[in-house]
Structure 1
Amino acid sequence: MEIFDPADPVSGPDQTAEPELRSGPLWRHALWAVAVTAAGMGLGWLAALYRLGPDEYGIPSAAEGSPWALLAVCAAAGLTAAALLRGTAARIPLYAPTRVCGALVFAATRLALGFRPEPALLAAGAAAVVAAAAAWCAFGVVTHRRDATSA
Structure 2
Amino acid sequence: MNDLPENPDASAGSDDSEDAEVRPGPLWRHAVWVVAVTAAGVALGWVGALFRIGPEEFGLPPAAPGALWPYLLAWTAIGLVLAAVLRFVAAKVPVYEPEKAAIGVVLIGTRLSLGWRPEPLEVAGIAAVGLLLVAVWCAVALRGAAVVRRTEEVSRARGTA
Please classify the TM superposition score into its range, dividing by the shorter chain length: 0.7 to 0.9
Give, in angstroms, the shift of residue 60 of structure 1.
8.2
The residue type equivalent to 2:120 in the other structure is: P
Bigger radius of gyration among the two: 2
> Could you say what secondary structure the match of 1:24 adopts?
coil
**Inter-CA distance 26–62: structure 2 relative to 1 (3 Å threshold):** farther
CA, structure 1 residues 61+19, in 2 after alignment: closer, same or farther (shift >3 Å)?
Answer: farther
Which residue is equivalent to 2:56? none
Distance 1:62 1:80, change over 3 A: farther
> Which amino acid is the alignment partner of residue 87 of structure 2?
R
Q: State the AA in 2 paired with 1:128.
A: V
Unpaired segments of 5 or more residues in structure 2? 53-59, 153-161
Determine the structure 1 residue equivalent to 2:127.
126
Distance in 1 (CA, whole Å) between partners of 2:138 and 2:39 is: 21
Unaligned ranges ≥5, structure 1: 52-58
Contact 1:48 1:62 in 2 (8 A): no
Deviation at 1:76, TM superposition (A): 1.2
Aligned to 1:15: 16
**Match of 1:84, as an amino acid?**
V
Q: What aligned pairs does 1:111-150 form with structure 2 within 5 A after superposition?
A: 111-150=112-151
Of Structure 1 and Structure 2, which has the larger fraction of its residues in helix?
2
Aligned length: 138
The alpha-carbon deviation at position 150 of structure 1 amounts to 2.1
Query: Is this contact kept in 1: 2:19–2:97, CA < 8 A?
Result: no
Calculate the TM-score normalised by the size of structure 2: 0.76
What SS does the aligned partner of 1:45 have?
helix
CA apart distance, 1:16: 3.2
Identity %: 44
TM-score by length of structure 1 reads 0.81
Matches within 5 A, 1:37-52: 37-50=38-51
User: Is the Cα–Cα contact under 8 Å of residues 34 and 83 in structure 2 kept in the other structure?
Assistant: yes
**Residue in 2 aligned with 1:56?**
none
Asked if the contact 1:62–1:115 (Cα under 8 Å) also holds between the matched residues in 2, the reply is yes
Instruction: State the Cα RMSD in Å.
Output: 2.7
Q: 1:70 to 1:145 in 2, by over 3 A?
A: same
Aligned 8 A contact 1:60 1:114 in 2: no
